[in-house]
Amino acid sequence: MATSLVVFLAGGAMLSISEASGKAWLGFLLLFGLAATGRLVSAWLLWEMHDPDPHPSAAQSRQFADTMRHTLLSLKDKTFRNYSLFVAGMQGMVAISAPFFAVYMLSELEFSYLQYSLCSISSIATQFVTLNFWGRMSDRFGNRLVMVITSCILPTLPLWWLISPNFYYLLWVQALSGFAWSGFSLSTANYLYDIRPHRTNFAGYAAVQSAIGATLVFVGALFGGYLAAAAPAIREQLPFELGSAIFVVFICSALLRSLVSLWFIPRAVEPRVRHHPHLLKVVYRVARFNAISGMVLDWLTVINRKDEERNK
């Protein structure tokens, strides 16, 4: 995580310096070149990894058909279905406005690339710092409460951008965003673990939820593009003054996020909490971060085989 933040900051500094010297194209060329080189090295290292089982068995070769059948069965589970539609719906409504915060900062507020990077880092760093807080909240009060709290904060985030264009104020707004997204990401991941039926494939449930989320993110981003194109005309028809046409997109995203939250909160149930591994037997990894979903965590458990047999 620390490496990611340093690289993010270095990229913003590189673009700011190249822009100040009148050679912004050179900064982007170097940035994209370094990124491409890093990915090629990563691909080579992945290629060099040993595959312990290169020839799947007959049972493994039927996993795709089993997965498709499992997908249909999982969607019949009302709790899982409501949860998946809620998470996917929130991600889709966020995708409406997510690409345009960068446009607003760089084009309309004319932030330097360094300032833009610092705003992004403010959100990412806050997510990392507040994970422990949200983890304790989930352990003490349950994941449902954390989901409800954060789903009430997320709809307000685009509206804070309408108040002031001040750089330091927007740093605070991004920190608030990171605070909400860390709790939302952690609680929704834990909630999926709690609601999955006993002895079912967790990866299958996670894949179904991710597929639904990716579909709605695509639809939301496409709608956001059309809305942004029509925003200047919509702004002219409004009975009140807006400081920017992009605010139309922000307001629409906030309203739709609110509808998703209002739909889910009465349907959210607190599941019977399963036995969780001890904290030291859980490995968390920061997988990636982006403007839509914030910081994404991958995790796995390390458990003693004898303990596992005893639990069974």
Burial class (CB in 10 A: 0-12, 13-18, 19+), 24: middle
Distance separating alpha carbons of residues 189 and 297, to the nearest angstrom: 9
Distance separating alpha carbons of residues 214 and 203, to the nearest angstrom: 16
- Per-domain residue ranges of the chain: 2-16+76-277
- The CATH code for residues 2-16+76-277 is 1.20.1250.20
Supply the angle between the helices 63-74 and 202-237 in degrees, to the nearest 10.
Answer: 60
Q: pLDDT tens digits, the chain, 312 residues: what are they? A: 677 778 878 888 888 888 888 888 888 999 899 999 999 999 999 998 877 766 655 555 566 666 677 667 767 778 888 888 899 999 999 999 988 998 999 889 988 888 888 888 888 888 888 888 888 888 888 888 899 999 999 999 999 999 999 999 999 999 999 999 989 988 888 887 777 655 556 667 777 778 888 999 999 999 999 999 999 999 888 888 888 899 999 999 999 999 999 998 888 777 655 544 444 444 555 555 554 444 455 545 444 555 545 554
